[in-house]
C-alpha cells in the first residue's frame, strides 16, 4: 500500500490515466449526467480519461473509438440490455464481462491505468476490473449506485429459492467479489454505508466505505431561457396551477401502480397539476390510466431528450420522487439533482429504508411521506400548497452547490487515493 501512495503522489503532478467502465451509453463527455460531469472534473484537473461504454447491437451500431480533448470513449458493441426481456437482459449482462476485458486488452494495451472507476449497475464487470487492477496496479474505486441483487429480490424479480434463487446466489457472490476487489466503495448516502456494512460483516469493509454522493456540474448562475409561460404553453401545462413533475424511469423500482393510485386520489384537487414524463417497463400503466380515465389534472409524455427535459422541469413548480415501499435497500435516485438544479422543492414518496426523504426535509427544500398510502400523498400535496415554493427551491439549489457538485465528488475520490 505504501508503494501505491508513492505512485499516486507522483501522478498528482503529472496527471493520471483513468479508466471508467460503465453500462451508461454516451458519445461525449460533454453530455450531462452524473458520470460525464464527474469525468470532466478529472479532465479539467489534467488527467487522461478513457471510457468503455456500450453500443447495443440491436441499434445497428459497431464498436468505435471516439477521441475528444483529454478523453477517449470506446463505444463497445454488446448484446441488448435495455428495453428487452428480463431473462435476455440477464444473459447479455453476464456476457458483458469478457467483452469488456477483451476490449481493454485490444484498445488500451499500451496504457497503464492508475485509477479504474466503475459503477453499479452492473456487478458483472468483476473480471475486467481484476485484470486492470492486477496488470497496472491500479487503484479501484467503486461508485455504488445500486445494491444488486437485493434490489431485484425486493421487487420480485429474483427470489431466494428455486431457479431465481440460483441466480440470486450467483449474483451475490459477484457482488461480494466486487466489494473485495475495490480499494474504496463510494456510497450515495450514510444509509447506504450502513447497509453495506451491516449486510457484509464477513468482508470487514469499515475502512473501505465512504459517502461519495451523486454529483453534477452546478452552474454558477441560473441560465435564463424561455419564460415559464412559453414553455408551459408548448407542453399544454396550465399557468394557474402548481405543476408537480416526475421525470425519469417508470419501472418496478418506482412502484408505478402506486403512482397511479396517488394521481387518482388527487383527482379532485383543482389547484395542482401532475406531469409524468418518463419511460420504462411499467410506463404503460400510466399511459393506459391517462387514456382510459382522462384525468383533468394529469398529463403523461414519454421521456424527452436531456436538454428539452431540463427546460420543461425549469417551468414546473415542484419535483416528485417515488420508490416502491418494498425496498429494503436505501435507494437515492439521481433525478433529485435535476430538481435541485432547477430550484424546485421536492416531494419524496418512499420506502422506510432510504434516507433521501430525511435529506430533503432536513435541508428545508421539500416533503417526505411513505409510499404506501395514496391519502398520505394527497395530504402532503395539500399541505405543500401552503408553503413558499420559491424559497424552498432556492434552498434546494444552495444544498446542491454545497453537497452534490461534481467538483466535490472528484475531491472525495482523489483524497481516497491519498492525493489531497
How many helices (H) and strands (E) the chain has is answered by: 16, 14
Residue 407 burial (C-beta neighbours within 10 Å; 0-12, 13-18, 19+): middle
If pLDDT is split at 50, 70 and 90, which confidence band does 307 have? confident
For 110-168, how does the pLDDT look when each residue is reduced to its tens digit (9 = 90+)? 999 999 999 987 777 889 999 999 999 999 999 999 999 888 888 888 888 888 888 88
pLDDT of residue 2: 34
Handedness of CA 398, 399, 404, 410 (dihedral sign): positive
| Contact assessment for residue 320 and residue 346, using Cβ atoms and an 8 Å cutoff | yes
- The rounded distance, in Å, linking the Cα atoms of 133 and 116 is 8
Return the pLDDT at 94: 64
Summary mean pLDDT of the chain: 89
The three three-digit cell numbers of residue 252, written as one number? 418496478
The rounded distance, in Å, linking the Cα atoms of 245 and 260 is 14
How sure is the predictor about 355, in pLDDT bands with cuts at 50, 70 and 90? Answer: very high
pLDDT at 412: 97
Rounded to two decimals, the pTM is: 0.89
Averaged pLDDT for residues 310-337: 94
3 state DSSP class of 40? helix
Please give the average per-residue pLDDT across 14-29, as a whole number: 89
More confident residue, 142 or 92: 142
pLDDT for residue 113: 96
Residue 4 has pLDDT above 50, yes or no: no
Peptide bond into 153 cis (omega under 30): no
pLDDT for 92 equals 59
Instruction: Write down the pLDDT at residue 24.
Output: 87
pLDDT tens figures, 173-209 = 989 999 999 999 999 999 999 999 999 999 999 999 9
Residue range 29-44, pLDDT digits in tens: 999 999 999 999 999 9
Angstrom distance (rounded) from CA 106 to CA 90:
25
Question: Residue 45 — φ and ψ, nearest 5°?
Answer: -85, 0
Q: Which domains does the chain have, with CATH numbers?
A: 2-217+405-416 (3.40.50.2000), 228-403 (3.40.50.2000)
pLDDT tens per residue across span 50-86: 999 988 655 567 888 999 988 999 998 875 555 555 5
DSSP code string of 235-290? HT--SSSEEEEEEEE-SGGGTHHHHHHHHHHTTT-SSEEEEEEEESTTHHHHHHHH
Helix, strand and coil in the chain, % to nearest 5: 45, 20, 35
Q: What is the pLDDT of residues 208-244, one digit of tens each?
A: 999 999 999 998 766 566 788 999 999 999 999 999 9
**How much is the pLDDT for 15?**
87
- Least confident segment among 29-38, 159-168, 273-282, 287-296: 159-168
Amino acid at each position: 500500500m505504501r508503494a501505491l501512495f508513492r505512485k499516486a503522489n507522483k501522478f498528482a503532478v503529472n496527471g493520471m490515466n483513468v479508466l471508467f467502465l460503465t453500462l451508461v451509453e454516451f458519445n461525449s463527455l460533454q453530455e450531462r449526467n452524473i458520470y460525464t460531469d464527474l469525468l470532466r472534473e478529472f479532465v479539467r484537473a489534467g488527467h487522461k480519461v478513457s471510457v468503455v461504454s456500450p453500443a447495443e447491437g440491436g441499434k445497428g451500431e459497431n464498436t468505435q473509438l471516439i477521441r475528444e480533448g483529454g478523453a477517449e470513449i470506446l463505444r463497445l458493441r454488446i448484446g441488448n440490455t435495455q428495453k428487452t426481456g428480463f431473462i435476455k437482459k440477464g444473459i447479455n449482462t453476464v456476457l458483458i464481462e469478457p467483452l469488456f476485458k477483451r476490449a481493454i486488452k485490444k484498445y488500451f494495451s499500451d496504457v497503464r491505468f492508475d485509477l479504474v472507476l466503475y459503477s453499479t449497475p452492473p456487478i458483472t464487470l468483476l473480471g475486467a476490473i481484476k485484470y486492470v487492477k492486477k496488470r497496472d496496479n491500479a487503484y479501484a474505486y467503486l461508485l455504488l449506485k445500486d445494491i444488486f441483487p437485493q434490489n431485484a429480490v425486493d421487487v420480485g424479480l429474483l427470489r431466494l429459492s428455486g431457479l431465481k434463487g440460483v441466480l440470486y446466489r450467483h449474483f451475490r457472490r459477484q457482488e461480494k467479489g466486487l466489494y473485495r476487489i475495490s480499494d474504496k466503495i463510494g456510497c450515495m448516502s450514510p444509509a447506504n454505508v450502513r447497509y453495506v456494512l451491516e449486510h457484509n460483516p464477513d468482508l470487514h469493509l469499515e475502512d473501505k466505505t465512504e459517502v461519495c454522493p451523486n454529483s453534477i456540474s452546478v452552474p454558477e448562475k441560473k441560465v435564463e431561457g424561455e419564460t415559464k409561460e412559453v414553455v408551459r404553453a408548448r407542453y399544454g401545462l396550465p399557468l394557474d396551477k402548481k405543476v408537480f413533475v416526475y421525470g425519469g424511469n417508470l419501472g418496478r423500482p418506482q412502484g408505478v401502480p402506486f403512482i397511479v393510485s396517488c394521481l387518482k386520489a388527487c383527482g379532485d384537487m383543482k389547484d395542482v397539476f401532475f406531469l409524468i414524463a418518463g419511460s420504462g417497463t411499467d410506463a404503460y400503466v400510466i399511459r393506459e390510466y391517462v387514456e382510459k380515465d382522462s384525468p383533468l389534472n394529469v398529463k403523461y409524455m414519454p421521456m424527452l431528450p436531456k436538454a428539452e427535459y431540463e427546460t420543461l422541469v425549469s417551468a414546473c413548480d415542484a419535483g416528485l420522487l417515488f420508490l416502491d415501499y418494498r425496498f429494503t435497500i436505501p435507494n437515492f435516485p439521481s433525478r433529485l439533482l435535476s430538481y435541485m438544479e432547477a430550484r424546485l422543492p421536492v416531494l419524496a414518496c418512499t420506502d422506510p429504508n432510504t434516507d433521501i426523504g430525511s435529506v430533503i426535509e432536513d435541508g428545508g427544500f421539500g416533503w417526505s411521506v411513505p409510499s404506501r398510502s395514496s391519502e398520505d400523498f394527497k395530504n402532503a400535496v395539500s399541505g405543500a400548497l401552503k408553503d413558499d415554493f420559491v424559497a424552498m427551491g432556492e434552498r434546494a439549489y444552495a444544498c446542491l452547490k454545497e453537497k452534490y457538485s461534481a467538483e466535490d465528488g472528484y475531491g472525495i475520490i482523489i483524497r481516497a487515493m491519498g492525493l489531497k
